DNA sequence: ACCTGAACACCGTTCAAGT
DNA sequence: ACCTGAACACCGTTCAAGT
């Protein structure tokens, strides 16, 4: 029961994850949806309107799956496990990198509207991760959150490039061994 | 005393770092160099030939700057410092991400020839980083090398997206605190 | 060897015109 | 409101033709 607008967003998301902003063409979308390219412009006046809408919807779904907060009894390790698992399943869904990770690397090319949506996605990720280090000072928590987000996005790109999920798995294991190791001291304070 | 071929490579590298594979057009290169687009094809028959040549030259320069091996008295920390500094200066040169990082995220779109060059760059980085952990078992060394490479590439993308070198600096500091901390035990064995 | 103009099928965007 | 055909200036690529 999906309307034309939703079909366009679905198709555009698929094409952007396939090959970035420029690999997503109005004419190809139109053919896939079964209308003409001029009709796509009726729903999304310009390409940046379309791409920004795709990025926003992707970010909302991603953060919804992540969950607003962790359940009461959860440890930071539980949170990290959920976070890494989400990236892993995103990669296994087509062997493609994160939509916002792909767009990040095209930053200089993107219209401001799209760039802003992608930056908001990154900030939301860092905020969520930062909560896992809530026992530490803000500076340190933010730094670690940026570290983990960067590593996961870099690993997604490398896994996509080599079509090999082991890049992602290697990075995940290092996050567990390294960062979480340091974390255990605070964990007991936060979750007694 | 640069010939036309070199001028084309310089211009193409600038355009790819500006906005990725598709933001680099034969017509715009031709205008910048002062010839016609059909003439560019004489030097590089197809766009994938051009992009692969750009990626190869970039990788060679990057690895040359990194140096084949560290000087005799150097510690792994010295090596890591050199590695992080190289990425930092690459970002500060125009506020752009790593050329191969940009292309990684376009993996699905890229012609095989270009994809292979980018994958070779990633492998060379991992090999170089792996030597810093030569005291550990191969599995562990490779995993950490992939971790650091992923984190740096992800940080480059985030810094480029936000036009803020602090992403890169935060990640660098975490690499120092986390990974190198674990490393110190082996360091003394390797560099007595 | 190196360059060129002209052609081809693509692209985003616009717009007047249809229902 | 939703769609369409035609036009515009772009794109990579090809090719016969020039020096």
Over residues A71-108, the pLDDT tens digits come to 666 777 888 989 999 999 999 988 888 899 888 877 77
The DSSP annotation for chain B comes to ---HHHHHHHHHHHHHHHH-GGG--HHHHHHHHTS-HHHHHHHSSSHHHHHHHHHHHHHHHHHHHH-SS--TT--HHHHHHHHHHHHHHHHHTTT---HHHHHHTTTTTS-HHHHHHHHHHHHHHHHHHHHHTTTS-HHHHHHHHHHHHHHHHHHHHHHHHHT-THHHHHHHHHIIIIIHHHHHHHHHHH--
Residue range(s) defining the domain that contains residue A150: 47-190
Q: Is A150 in CB contact (< 8 Å) with chain B?
A: yes
pLDDT for the residue numbered B183 = 45
DSSP A177: I
The confidence band for B70, taking pLDDT boundaries of 50, 70 and 90, is low
Residue A13 phi/psi, 5-degree rounding, is -60, -45
Q: How far apart are CA B14 and CA B20, in angstroms?
A: 10
Give the CATH number, domain containing residue B151: 1.10.357.10
B111 in a structural domain: yes
A20 in a structural domain: no
A77 in a structural domain: yes
A171 in a structural domain: yes
Q: How far apart are CA A179 and CA A171, in angstroms?
A: 11
Residue that the structure tokens 């999304």 belong to: A44
Q: Is B8 in CB contact (< 8 Å) with chain A?
A: no
B3 in a structural domain: no
Over residues A124-148, the pLDDT tens digits come to 999 999 988 888 889 989 999 999 9
A30 in a structural domain: no
What is the arithmetic mean of pLDDT over B83-110?
A: 87
Percent of chain A with pLDDT over 70: 88
Domain count, chain A: 1
Q: Is B43 near strand D, with its CB below 7 A from some atom of it?
A: no
- Contact present, B178 and A143 (Cβ < 8 Å): no
Q: How far apart are CA B11 and CA B15, in angstroms?
A: 6
As given in the structure block, the two tokens for residue A115 are: 């760039």
CB pairs under 8 A between A and B: 177
State the nucleotide closest to A26 in CA–C1' terms.
C12
The confidence band for B186, taking pLDDT boundaries of 50, 70 and 90, is very low
The confidence band for B95, taking pLDDT boundaries of 50, 70 and 90, is confident
Question: Which string of b and e fits A136-175 if b means at least 16 CB within 10 Å?
Answer: beeebbbbbbbbbbbbbbbbbbbbbbbeebebbbbbbbbb
The confidence band for B179, taking pLDDT boundaries of 50, 70 and 90, is low
Closest approach of A73 to chain B, Cα-based (Å): 27
A136 in a structural domain: yes
pLDDT for the residue numbered A59 = 95
A6 in a structural domain: no
Are B142 and A170 in contact (CB < 8 Å)? yes
Residue of A nearest to B160 (CA): A107
| Partner residue opposite A147 with nearest CB, options B108, B119, B174 | B174
pTM exceeds 0.85, yes or no: yes
């Amino acid at each position: 029961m999906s309307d034309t607008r939703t079909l366009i967003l679905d198709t555009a998301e698929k094409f952007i994850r396939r090959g970035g902003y420029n690999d997503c063409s109005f004419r190809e979308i139109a053919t896939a949806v079964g209308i003409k390219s001029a009709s796509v412009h009726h729903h999304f006046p310009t390409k940046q309107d379309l791409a920004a809408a795709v990025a926003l919807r992707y970010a909302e779904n991603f953060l919804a799956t992540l969950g607003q907060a962790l359940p009461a009894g959860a440890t930071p390790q539980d949170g990290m496990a959920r976070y890494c698992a989400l990236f892993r399943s995103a990669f296994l869904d087509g062997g493609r990198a994160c939509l916002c990770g792909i767009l990040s690397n095209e930053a200089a090319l993107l219209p401001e509207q799209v760039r802003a949506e992608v930056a908001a996605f990154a900030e939301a990720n860092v905020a969520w991760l930062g909560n896992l280090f809530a026992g530490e000072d803000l500076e340190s928590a933010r730094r670690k959150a940026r570290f983990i987000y960067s590593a996961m996005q870099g690993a997604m790109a490398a896994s996509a490039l080599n079509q090999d999920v082991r890049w992602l798995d290697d990075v995940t294991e290092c996050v567990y061994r390294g960062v979480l190791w340091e974390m255990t001291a605070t964990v007991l304070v936060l979750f007694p």
